[in-house]
Chain A
Amino acid sequence: MTGGTGNIVAPLPFPTAARRELADGQLRANLRRATHTIRDKRLRVVGEVPDWEALRRSGAAIKDDVLARMPELLEQFEAAAIAAGATVHWARDSTEACAVVTGLVQQTGSTEVVKVKSMATQEIGLNEALAEAGIAAVETDLAELIVQLADDTPSHILVPAIHYNRRQIRDIFASRMPGVDVASLTDEPAALAEAARRHLRAKFLSARVAISGANFAIAETGTLAVVESEGNGRMCLTLPETLISVVGVEKLLPTFRDLEVFLQLLPRSSTGERMNPYTSLWTGVTPGDGPQTLHIVLVDNGRTETLADPVGRQALRCIRCSACLNVCPVYERVGGHAYGSVYPGPIGAILSPQMTGPDAGANRTLPYASTLCGACFDACPVRIDIPQVLVHLRQRGVDARRGRPSAERTAMQAMSWVMRDRRRYAAALRAARRGSAPLRWVTGRRGQVRRLPWPLSAWTASRDAPLPAAETFRDWWAGRDRSTHGGGRS
């Protein structure tokens, strides 16, 4: 077993990266507009489905079955895919996966590949690896293309360019897209789409190799599925001679019928559409039709480690719909780059540290990037209890560091010790009240303090703090008890 590697390691602690992103007002405005639009749409179309809750439960149950029978289902998938004419490869981590794919492209002699939008290839850093080998990878998903042209990294699972508005996109196209007619290019969505279409059409027609991921991999039949909106993926999946599909091992579904559940859950959760415009399914190769060579690279990259945690493994049910990102108040303020991983937002906060192990880079800070507000759990089509896993990962982190000194743990232990005894607790309350009495003299209005010492200075940096009351509740109760019942207890 190895921990996952690649673009799932946060280079900076979340609070630091978040501060950087928060400084960008334009980013925040773009994110707010985009996430609120998708989340409203999602709520509307999900509301149309009377058995939505039952569907979610089915989705979760099917995926749990996959997680319980992973080795068996993978072998079944492999056998079925080979029988249908595919070649199956296995990769333990991102380095192995990139090496396999690069080698396969090199065998074809091509120096350019077209790509279907895929999280798995982003996760393993495939474009960078191909570039190093002198192979140009052309992203054909519109948003992915924008990010690629801008030399940027995606900031959202589904809408990688969510952090740009159309004015900014127009400028990216004008300066970076080869052969674009700058003079006539406006920031109208139709004009931008037309420019991209012209640019991509040439690529589709010349490409001999395509690289895709897969939304689903059906064990029973060896079938792969890609669900998309633009149809560019289908061009890649049908025109080139060679197709290389990079698939995370958790993408399995046991049977073809299971698609019925997921093809309802996914589009409504991700784009707020009743059904996505293009669903492409392919099983091995078909002589005279479509790619004549199909390679499937099955990637582990930390998934087996994630599977080993009985609470955290539910993160592997994820179908990458991004609904949790769009409802997350933290994501809405800071965007995807703050998470430092290709899996941002609530799911990234639990998935990345599990796949890499918590000590990779700054991934240890990710489980704290949440207020535990619970909006993500409500939105998730496969019922991943993200708040529960966040707390669980925090516990794992705390337990792993029991041997090391920490001011926080000392404080937590002291508080727990005080609070588990009535007299200690009452005395502590009284002391806190008395200790704050001098503050009452010096603070301004309404018993609010403007500045507290570290670490609570983080609190008073942006809000006033309330003072302990002049009389605790239990003292009031004791006094009342005495006056009404004529006898004292305290």
Chain B
Amino acid sequence: MRIALFVTCVNDLVFPGTGRAVVRILERLGHTVEFPLEQSCCGQMHANSGYRAESLPLVRGFVDTFTGYDAVVAPSGSCVAMVRDSYPRLAESDPGLAAAVTDLAPRVYELSELLVDVLGVTDVGASFPHRVTYHPTCHGLRMLRLGDRPLRLLRAVRGLDLVDLPGAQECCGFGGTFAVKNADVSAAMLTDKCTAVCDTGAAYVAAADNSCLAHIGGGLSRRNRSSPAPGVRAIHYAEILAGTGQERS
């Protein structure tokens, strides 16, 4: 099976450790991963902010880059949701593109879907001896319906103590440009999410989306500045599954 990694633009620039983690997990499971260099951004920020015309070339670029693969994996629930949920609508006006999207979109997987549904693994042989809580980001929860797939993967990690996050299903307040356009409301939501995370007593809060994690992690980091205790850290669950036990970079 030819598996391509779509690392996403945010991960490429800011969280490359997550991409490296995906490569490590899949190679450890005996798969070869390809990284097509033509890839860039799925166009989510453009499309969700209303810039449909600007997003369309990126939709085309994505389709051209990944059409030849059996599976495309991305460590980002929201980018996968973009491809599966929004691409068909964006491509509507172009029959050729629409057909290519219909063909490709079902083969684009969030990491936990690829591991659990396609490769049939829940134990990826990782070890992470820490207390962890999991935030099921909105797109993973309500658009992809990831369900308990990430939790099943985390429960199989050696030494990991998984604790429930109160109000887990509530949005963290990131919402792409919402965090800037409605900064005050976003901050109020973030405060509640960070409080819930801290209340769990976990050392790490994990999620399937580095955008949400940058927001939650930024809130936690701001809190941590005023306290001498080490504080909770945000981490992509792929980095836990990669089994390094190290902090995100």
Contacts and interface: CB of A to CB of B under 8 A. Distances in A.
Decide if A and B are genuine partners.
Answer: yes
Interface of A: 14-15, 18-19, 22, 28, 329-330, 333-334, 368-375, 377-378, 388, 391, 393-399, 408-409, 412-413, 415-416, 419-420, 422, 425-426, 429, 432-433, 444-448, 450, 455-456, 458-459, 461-474, 476-477, 489-490
Interface in B201-226: 214-215, 217-219, 221-222, 224-225
Contact of B13 (A333, A394, A433, A461): A433
A465 B60 CA distance: 31
Contacts of A465: 214, 218
B178 A370 contact: yes
Contacts of A419: 9, 40-41, 43, 58, 61
Contacts of B53: 399
B57 to A, nearest CB: 4
A489 B20 CA distance: 18
8 contacts: A15-B181, A369-B182, A371-B189, A372-B48, A398-B49, A416-B57, A466-B14, A469-B14
Interface stretch (B95-103, B107-115, B117-125, B169-177): B169-177
A393 B50 CA distance: 8
Interface string B44-80: 0111111111110110110000000000000000000
Given A458-B180, A462-B187, A477-B35, A373 B222 contact: no
Given A467-B14, A468-B14, A373 B47 contact: no
B138 interface: yes
Contact of B37 (A370, A456, A463, A489): A489
Contacts of A490: 37
Contacts of A408: 49
Contacts of B224: 445
Interface in B17-35: 17, 19-20, 35
B221 A473 contact: no
A373 B137 CA distance: 9
A422 B173 CA distance: 32
| Interface residue range, chain B | 35 or more
Contacts of A468: 13-14
Nearest to A414: B54
B13 A368 contact: no
A472 B50 contact: no
B54 A466 contact: no
A415 B138 CA distance: 25
B12, B38, B58, B189: most-surrounded residue (chain A CB, <10 A): B12
Residue with the highest number of chain A CB atoms closer than 10 Å, among B40, B53, B86:
B40
B40 A425 contact: yes
